[in-house]
Amino acid sequence: MFLRELENKGYIPDEQLKTVYVKPGQTTEITWENTPITGQIQIVKKSADYNPTNGLPEGTLLEGAVFEIYDKANNLVDTLKSDSRGLAVSRQLPLDRYSIREVKAPTNYGVNDTVLTAYLEHEGQIVRFEVTNKALTTGVSITETGPREVMGGQPVRYVFDHIANNSNVRLDSFFWRDTLPAEVILDTVVTGTYNRPGNYKIVYRVNGGEYQTLADNLSTGRNYTLAASPVALSLAANERVTEVMFVFGQAPAGFAQVEKPYLYCTARPGLPAGAFVNKADVGGVYNGEWIQAVSRWVTTVYGKTIPLPRTGY
């Protein structure tokens, strides 16, 4: 008996005629080795603009970008890195549909989040892409204001503005936080609103202990007023809120506050003359590094007037 392979999808058929000897009552096995039909993915990496950090002009070929290639079943099949010519070349890949994601940008550039799709459809095909990266700029901001002068027992309102991810890349673990001085007692949190859709939570610390949740699954587009007084939080007489933190997770480039958040507090009764400081900070992570900013507000305390000793004859 003679056998010939006619077709094997994705592989070059072995057309050599094979002789098979079949014996009664026995199973005969035949092994064919096929060479897969393959193609290749190539990526040219360039700068999208002038980079003020390294002085490289627009269109410069960039080294060090890392890409991952996934097949249509979302299995990682290859990882490639651009060389000194800006070229990242895959291994020979079987014919299929692939998605390509940039996972690391060249130094001083932001990751390009565009997901590419490549179709390898015939033997020896090379699918080539040109991918650009913008010069990396990172920064965050927050501004805090409050009363300049206060006496014990008076209301204290802290106002927060310009809370933003000013980077041209997404920041992870994004938050803003206020650290309350011992001279004030927290009463109410007004959340403000933010310009990107999403959800976040607010946590707080009592006497510097572990974070506890004040509210969760809050919408960035809605302004909430949350009770946070010692009575509302069931605090003991010797306990106080020392921190309030808004936790957003990911903050895309351009993420910013719209309506201003507020913290309403009360100055502790009987404060002596002097001053106290409230500190607000904001931050997020890019490429494993924290990007942070701090704002401080100083309030002067006018204590009770102490009469001068009476003198006379």
pLDDT in tens, 61-71: 999 999 999 99
Under a CB-based contact definition with an 8 Å cutoff, are residues 163 and 302 in contact? Answer: no
Report the distance separating Cα 297 and Cα 133, nearest Å. 39
Average pLDDT over residues 241-267: 97
pLDDT of residue 52: 86
pLDDT of residue 214: 98
Neighbours of 104 (CB within 10 A): 14
Q: How confident is the model at residue 243 (pLDDT cuts 50, 70, 90)?
A: very high
Average pLDDT over residues 184-210: 97
pLDDT of residue 101: 97
3-state secondary structure of 107: coil
Q: Which residues are bridge partners to 175 per DSSP?
A: 247, 283
Q: CB-based contacts of 172: which residues, under 8 Å, 6+ apart? A: 249, 250, 284, 285, 286
pLDDT exceeds 90 at position 213: yes
pLDDT by residue (tens digit) across 253-263? Answer: 999 999 999 99
How many Cα atoms sit within 13 Å of 33 on the Cβ side? 0
pLDDT of residue 226: 98
pLDDT exceeds 90 at position 6: no
pLDDT of residue 304: 59
Neighbours of 240 (CB within 10 A): 19
Q: CB-based contacts of 49: which residues, under 8 Å, 6+ apart? A: 58, 134, 135
**Which of the pair, 295 or 170, is modelled with greater confidence?**
295
Under a CB-based contact definition with an 8 Å cutoff, are residues 160 and 140 in contact? Answer: no
- Its pTM stands at 0.72
pLDDT of residue 208: 86
Average pLDDT over residues 304-309: 57
Average pLDDT over residues 280-305: 91
Q: How far is CA 168 from the centre of its chain?
A: 12
Mean pLDDT check: name the lowest of 13-17, 55-59, 187-191: 13-17
pLDDT exceeds 90 at position 236: yes
Report the distance separating Cα 208 and Cα 211, nearest Å. 8
